[in-house]
Amino acid sequence: MREADARNALLIRAFETAPATPHWDEEDREWASRSAAQIEGEKASAEAFVARRAGLAAQRLSSRVPAVAHTLSAVDWRPWAGWLVVAAAFLAGLLLDAVSAEQRINILAPPLLAILLWNAVVYVLLILRPLIFRKRPLRPMQGLVARLIHGVPKSLLKPDASTPLAVFVRQWLPASAGLSNTRMMAVLHYAAAAFAVGAMAGLYTRGLAFEYLAGWESTFLSVDTVSRLLQAVLGPASFLTGIALPDAARLAAIRLPEGSGENAAGWIHLYAVTVLLAVVVPRILLGIFAALRARRLAANLPLPLTDGYFQNLRRRHSGSAAQVQVIPYSYQPTPGSAAGIRRLMQQIYGAETMVAVAPTLALGGEDHLGAVLAGRGPLTATIALFSLAATPEVENHAAFVAALDAALPSEAVVVALVDESAFLRRFGADTKRLAERRAIWRRILASRIDIEPVFAALEEEDLGEAHRKLREVVDEISSRIVQNARFRAGAKASA
């Protein structure tokens, strides 16, 4: 998906998954889906449909809310900011005053030596980067980049900000991290080359007005050692320029403080060519490579369309509805709880979602799961429904969830949902007791399976917090399923 399309998709996702917003309602959603389907056609791919729909929706939303257009512009890459960094690097190199007050250049520690050494370290790190950061890839300083390069308002970067625009920014920054990394890498390569060019230009400029003398001094190095060192460092530049390196007698003559040195023009030329070969050319080539890679990423930015929101859009485009199976365990949901879970599922998967509540499974009934699941077609999600008022047990409740997960295909979404309605009727809004009981349920379920339960008072009208948490869990499970499928496919291909 193109960068702009992915950005629009995450923007609209943030607005359409918010509990409520006065700027975008169900009528707007239907209009966006209908218009995108008319433009793209029924046979269009899901990605093309999502991209077109997001573009149309973002355009309408921007016309209503000026902050939307401003935020979209703020998170967009600003090429001029990168070139400003390059210009600043050139100016810093130009103003670098690395020559001593005596106007002497030590050929063993010339003004450009630090540039050579620093870039040598960078090249080593670039080579070792895949090994060092294999498990923990480099991440950009997202907040700093967002503020300086993108100009994102600081209020949208606060972790506790819950507006749709703040949610969009928090989702977009990591989603575009790879692209931002690559662009910043290109800028840094160009800036390193510009700094080296500026340093050489400054040295030559000052050499027009002043005469610099070159010599060397060392506590430990002999004339022969210095000769071999200079040959290793400046040999290629000497070969290209035809400027001969000094023999032992000449080196002895310019040794300080006994000698008076010699005109530094030839040494400046040699080091300038060395910097050109070792810094400027490689950095420009690396910058071009990073820029080309950034262009490819911008044209095809990876945006997994695997969470509940995007799956719902894909089903709408194909004309199918989500199928959700709810299996209560040792708990008979009230009509209010059953209605609440239907509302939750429809908020996650769309108004057309088909929610089937199975008969309650008694304690120990996990052995009969086959009969409950028999005859069911492909399910979008399967919900293990519990009551917080019950005391969870490893051999029953946790075993049931583990058995349910094992009985379903590896690509199935399994969620543990704990209804708090009966518990709240019995104990009221006792936050301490509620937190303790939630902690017990988390610990018991985690003893048999890696699953995060979602807690919700299903009989209440306001299910906003439960909707948010359930969406996070469903999205995380969906992403994990896709990653596992890719891993298995890669392992199969390598075998």
Q: Which residue would you say has higher pLDDT here, 495 or 348?
A: 348
Q: Supply the DSSP string of 16-65, one letter for each residue.
A: HTSS--TT--HHHHHHHHHHHHHHH-TTS-HHHHHHHHHHHHHHHHHHH-
The token pair that represents 355 in the structure block: 């929610």
Q: Which residue would you say has higher pLDDT here, 423 or 377?
A: 423
178 inside domain: yes
pLDDT at 494: 47
pLDDT at 181: 85
104-106, strands of its sheet edge to edge:
104-106, 213-215, 262-263
What residues contact 443, with CB distance under 8 A and at least 6 apart?
none
What residues contact 320, with CB distance under 8 A and at least 6 apart?
none
pLDDT at 100: 47
Of the ranges 134-138, 326-330, 335-339, 382-386, which one carries the lowest mean pLDDT score? 134-138
pLDDT at 174: 81
344 inside domain: yes
**The one-letter amino acid at 442:** R
Residue 465 and residue 377 share a domain: yes
- The residues facing 386 across adjacent strands are 418
What residues contact 118, with CB distance under 8 A and at least 6 apart?
none
The token pair that represents 41 in the structure block: 């056609």
Are 344 and 465 within 8 A, CB to CB?
Answer: no
> What is the distance between the alpha carbons of residues 370 and 362, in angstroms, rounded to a whole number?
14
49 inside domain: yes
Q: Which residue would you say has higher pLDDT here, 467 or 455?
A: 455
Residue 262 and residue 132 share a domain: yes
Q: How many CB atoms lie within 10 A of CB 370?
A: 8
Domain count, the chain: 3
Are 419 and 331 within 8 A, CB to CB?
Answer: yes
Residue 332 and residue 426 share a domain: yes
307 inside domain: no
304 inside domain: no
Residue 321 and residue 270 share a domain: no
Q: β-strand 104-106 against 262-263: which pairing, if any?
A: unpaired
Residue 346 and residue 211 share a domain: no
- List, for residues 54-109, the tens digit of each pLDDT value: 999 999 999 999 999 988 888 888 888 889 999 999 999 988 765 445 578 888 87
Question: Which residue is it, tokens 């950034």?
Answer: 294
> What is the distance between the alpha carbons of residues 401 and 397, in angstroms, rounded to a whole number?
7
Last residue of a domain, which of 275, 299, 323?
299
Residue 124 and residue 68 share a domain: no
Residue 457 and residue 359 share a domain: yes
**The one-letter amino acid at 452:** E
CATH number of 478's domain: 3.40.50.300
> What is the distance between the alpha carbons of residues 441 and 256, in angstroms, rounded to a whole number?
79
Residue 191 and residue 58 share a domain: no
CA 138 to chain centre: 10
239 inside domain: yes
pLDDT at 106: 85
Measured between its terminal Cα atoms, the distance across the chain in Å is 30
Last residue of a domain, which of 272, 299, 326?
299
pLDDT at 374: 67
> What is the distance between the alpha carbons of residues 20 and 29, in angstroms, rounded to a whole number?
13
The token pair that represents 394 in the structure block: 């490893």
pLDDT category at 150 given cuts 50, 70, 90 is low
Residue 463 and residue 316 share a domain: yes
- List, for residues 11-50, the tens digit of each pLDDT value: 999 998 877 678 888 889 889 988 998 998 877 888 899 9
Residue 368 and residue 234 share a domain: no
Are 8 and 55 within 8 A, CB to CB?
Answer: yes
Q: Which residue would you say has higher pLDDT here, 371 or 128?
A: 128
- Torsions phi, psi for 76 (to 5 deg): -75, 145
Q: How far is CA 103 from CA 110, 210, 215, 431, in A?
A: 12, 8, 11, 75
Residue 364 and residue 341 share a domain: yes
306 inside domain: no
Percent of the chain with pLDDT over 90: 39
- List, for residues 257-302, the tens digit of each pLDDT value: 888 789 989 999 999 999 999 999 999 999 999 999 999 999 998 8
State the number of CA atoms in the 13 A half-sphere of 264 facing the CB.
26
Residue 416's nearest CA partner among 404, 424, 425 is 404
Residue 236 and residue 373 share a domain: no
**Across the chain, what does the average pLDDT equal?**
84
pLDDT category at 133 given cuts 50, 70, 90 is low
pLDDT at 151: 61
pLDDT at 221: 87
Question: Residue 42's domain spans which residues?
Answer: 3-75
In this prediction, residues 448-468 reach a mean pLDDT of 87
> What is the distance between the alpha carbons of residues 265 and 271, in angstroms, rounded to a whole number?
10
pLDDT at 487: 46
In this prediction, residues 167-182 reach a mean pLDDT of 86
Residue 127's nearest CA partner among 280, 286, 295, 273 is 286
**The one-letter amino acid at 139:** R
54 inside domain: yes
**The one-letter amino acid at 479:** S
Last residue of a domain, which of 30, 55, 75?
75
> What is the distance between the alpha carbons of residues 64 and 122, in angstroms, rounded to a whole number?
48
Angle at 467 between CA 465 and CA 468, to 5 degrees: 65
Question: With 70 as the cut, is the pLDDT of residue 147 above it?
Answer: no
**The one-letter amino acid at 1:** M
- List, for residues 219-250, the tens digit of each pLDDT value: 888 999 999 999 999 999 999 999 999 999 99
Question: With 80 as the cut, is the pLDDT of residue 375 above it?
Answer: no
In total, the chain counts a number of residues equal to 495
* 3-class state of residue 74 by DSSP: helix
